[in-house]
Amino acid sequence: MGPLFRVVLILALAGTTAGCFQPLYGTQTTTGGPAVSTALNAVDVEQIDATTGTDDARIGVELRNDLLFALQGGSGGGSPTHSLKIRLIPSRYTTSVDLQTGRSSTDVYNLTATYQLTDLRTGRVVLAASAVAPVSFDTPGEQQRFARSRGLRDAENRAAQQIAENIRSRLTSFFVAGS
């Protein structure tokens, strides 16, 4: 009778806590407050400053588009409650060099984003953080210039996607925990 009693007791305790959990991105909350998806949808992502026509401007547009899709799912935002300002710092460095030619064979594109989330009602910055995305890519020899530039562009796009996901995760954490 002892083992059967333990099983019944465990099931009874599990049943009492079943209503305490909610899906992170669910549409309804257990407290009746706004869902995380509603809060993310109300974030206005500002244009990212960069000189027009540069690679930094293209990366800024790529990151903003990725972030808007991650936050709003392509539905467009409603009336914003928060504003997100992002500043990008790109860099690139070589990790390995071909000993015969002296050229780099593998590079790392590093994208650092610092961002601030501002509550539009109070005008106060409620979250300030940064995200880093180092992405490696191959740099073939001088004869394959297109492959080299395409590899860099792919690395820039992957870094922008990683930054967007990182920011989305951090904003989700902020809206759930409030910090």
**pLDDT tier, 83 (very low <50, low <70, confident <90, very high otherwise):** very high
Q: Is residue 2 assigned to a domain?
A: no
Q: Which residue segment(s) compose the domain that 94 sits in? A: 33-177
pLDDT at 34: 66
Number of domains in the chain: 1
pLDDT, tens digit (0-9, with 9 covering 90-100), for 21-43:
555 556 655 556 567 888 899 99
DSSP codes joined into one string, the chain: -HHHHHHHHHHHHHHHHGGG---TT-SS-SSSS--HHHHHHTEEEPPPP--TTSHHHHHHHHHHHHHHHHHHTTS---S-SEEEEEEEEEEEEEEEE-TTT--EEEEEEEEEEEEEEEETTT--EEEEEEEEEEEEEE---TT-HHHHHHHHHHHHHHHHHHHHHHHHHHHHHHHHH--
**Range name among 62-66, 135-139, 157-161 with the lowest pLDDT average:** 135-139
**Average pLDDT of the chain to the nearest whole number:** 85
CATH code at 77? 3.30.160.150
Q: Is residue 18 assigned to a domain?
A: no
pLDDT at 105: 75
